[in-house]
Structure 1
Amino acid sequence: MTHHSHPHGQAAHDHAPTRDHDQASTHDHDRDHDQAEILDLDADVLAEHLASIAAWLPVTTAPRHIVDLGCGTGAGTLALLERFPDAQVTAVDSSAAHLRRLVEKARAGGVEGRVHTVQADLDTSRPDLDRPDLVWASASLHHLADPRRTLRQVHDALAPGGLLAVVELAGFPRFLPADAPEDRPGLEERCHAASERRHGNHLPHRGADWGPMLTAAGFDVEAERTLTVNIEASPSNAVGRYALSSLRRVRAAVTDTLSPEDLAALDRLLDTTGAHGILHRPDLAVRTRRTVWAARRT
């Protein structure tokens, strides 16, 4: 399981087939590089909110073994290592490139010895999670073909009294004001609507209420919390780079469905050299919502 289809999730199963091994390898390498970049930007911009979620978790005893399912490039892993300084984390992802990036970050932060990586896709394999006290699944479960099966597996793997934290986004982050850009107001919403029409059938669990599914898997849902995120652009322009990477991915998904006028306006926003490019806009912000479910194995 990995964070492939957007900054916060596992691979969507809609990649175009490639004609030979070399082409496929190049495609996968480029895709992993782009996804790693946007995951790193997401972690940078939303670090404070991620730390607040980790601090909120209703743990009864500090966990010694944590599993991060769909860890991507390690935003959750590193936040959990900081929150629980005596814990070890098993980081699970299907992307070898993302796991390598996570290890690089852990090494830079001096916590490499507390991280164990496992390359696995939960749709096709069942890795040994080795009785964790806490399992963290951020923007990953909704990409699974059968998340109910995975929830049951996590329930059975957890130590008695262990906690599962499910973190999901209400939707893709928004960056532009509603009346932007000036020549095509509402462009961002139309782009996301077009993307949803294309990908909605592939991700039926996105935006789901996970409470009933957690209960059906045998968990006791102890707490639920929704965080509203609104982060204005910073001097480092991380928000601008995050917006650019995000909208580039949206552009790839809506090329065939957006009107020519909207597509041209989007290209002007994505032009890093033009005066009207998104990197030069002073009115950017990251606006999104994240919901967290804390569920215990009783």
Structure 2
Amino acid sequence: MDDNNAHQHGHGHRQGHQGGHAPGHQHGHQHGSGHGHGPQDADFSVLTEMLDLDAEVLHEHLDELTGWIEELSGGTAEKPGGRDLRVLDLGSGTGAGTFALLQRFPGADVTAVDASPAMAARLEEKAAALGVADRVRTVVADLDTEALPAGPFDLVWASASLHHLADPAGVLAQVREVLRPGGLMVAVELEGFPRFLPDDLGIGRPGLEERCHTAQAEGRKAAGMHMSEDWGARLRGAGLDVVAERVVAIDLAAPLPAATGRYVLASLTRVRSALEDVLDAQDLATLDALTDADGPHGVLRRDDLTVCTERNVWVAARG
């Protein structure tokens, strides 16, 4: 979610994400450096906040996932001879995967690739604040037009980024080339974007979130995004051996993490922007009320929020 569409975490953020995993990213919208002024600057600010909050709200699930990857990789932070584990994060966004992997593997270093210079700068700022700047290297590159950083890498991580690629087969073929023999490729893709709201909000017409999800799905299809694909087949087609698959179901209810309200606010703000020309006036007015941080109907005041989503995970090895 990191989609409609609101979080673009793609070929290394053709728009700028993600990593992550945030909801609603709009495919194909360029952030550039993100350091300008006006609507684009404000949009980038909301996007980065949403990605950071996604990592905070769902950190337990990300920690569980990296623990599973550690088991599959043999549970070692170093390779034979004491060589540090080399990790490549594709579509790194603000670094949810990068920092989770650095925490899981204390002997690792990460090369984080994203198409947005602003996202790379944000990731570098966070790395410095966390005291791990010496273990992180950022690369600004569009995976559809530029080659991957030179390997060999022990682990390649791609979370909510593969579905943005114009040529997934070409990029995965490159992944195989930069992986060392025995190295792992981890692909995490969104089965659906998070759901936060009850059907009847007490304002507007019931079913707002369902209408938003339908509109987002239509937008993704029109944009040619590779959603709901069998990435296991894609990985095998690139010459990798799929060694494990998992569906991660996330269903958070009260008591929710403290950051949940801000996460939902940022997510719905992105959805509101993405669907401004799609939804009718009544639904847009309801979204305006929900995203009014000081309003009586804003999500920061609601006690009926949830966070429900699923992620599919494939782990493949180079033979």
Calculate the TM-score normalised by the size of structure 1. Answer: 0.90
CA-to-partner distance for each residue in 1:216-239, whole Å, 9 max, x for gaps?
Answer: 110110000011111235576411
Which shifted more, 225-234 or 4-13?
Answer: 4-13
- Shift of residue 144, structure 1, vs aligned partner: 0.8
CA-to-partner distance for each residue in 1:135-192, whole Å, 9 max, x for gaps?
Answer: 0000011111111110010011100111000011112111012333454211111012
> In the alignment, what sits opposite 1:266?
287
Give the alignment partner of residue 35 of structure 1, picking from 37, 40, 47: 47
| Structure 2 CA distance for aligned equivalents of residues 274 and 11 of structure 1 | 26
Asked whether the equivalents of residues 5 and 12 of structure 1 are also in contact (C-alpha less than 8 Å), the reply is no
> In the alignment, what sits opposite 2:73?
59
Asked whether the equivalents of residues 17 and 48 of structure 2 are also in contact (C-alpha less than 8 Å), the reply is no
Residues 128, 6 of structure 1: alpha-carbon distance in 2 compared, 3 angstrom cutoff: closer
- Shift of residue 25, structure 1, vs aligned partner: 7.1
Aligned residues: percent identity?
A: 50
1:164-243 mapped onto 2 (5 Å cutoff):
164-232=185-253, 237-243=258-264
Give the alignment partner of residue 249 of structure 1, picking from 246, 270, 288: 270
Calculate the TM-score normalised by the size of structure 2. Answer: 0.85
The answer on 1:2 being equivalent to 2:12 is yes
> In the alignment, what sits opposite 2:111?
90
- Shift of residue 128, structure 1, vs aligned partner: 2.3
Give the alignment partner of residue 145 of structure 1, picking from 154, 166, 181: 166
Asked whether the equivalents of residues 232 and 239 of structure 1 are also in contact (C-alpha less than 8 Å), the reply is no
| Structure 1 CA distance for aligned equivalents of residues 65 and 212 of structure 2 | 29
Asked whether the equivalents of residues 249 and 311 of structure 2 are also in contact (C-alpha less than 8 Å), the reply is yes
| Structure 2 CA distance for aligned equivalents of residues 14 and 108 of structure 1 | 29
Give the alignment partner of residue 311 of structure 2, picking from 285, 290, 295: 290
CA-to-partner distance for each residue in 1:239-266, whole Å, 9 max, x for gaps?
Answer: 1111111111111122222122222222
CA-to-partner distance for each residue in 1:76-117, whole Å, 9 max, x for gaps?
Answer: 011101111111111111112111221222222221111111
The number of residues matched between the two structures is 295
Asked whether the equivalents of residues 169 and 238 of structure 2 are also in contact (C-alpha less than 8 Å), the reply is yes
Segments ≥4 residues shifted beyond 6 Å: 21-25
Structure 2 gap ranges (5+): 1-10, 79-84
Q: Secondary structure at the match of 2:245?
A: strand
Structure 1 gap ranges (5+): none
| Structure 2 CA distance for aligned equivalents of residues 152 and 131 of structure 1 | 14
| Structure 2 CA distance for aligned equivalents of residues 122 and 234 of structure 1 | 40
Question: Over aligned residue pairs, what C-alpha RMSD do you find?
Answer: 2.6
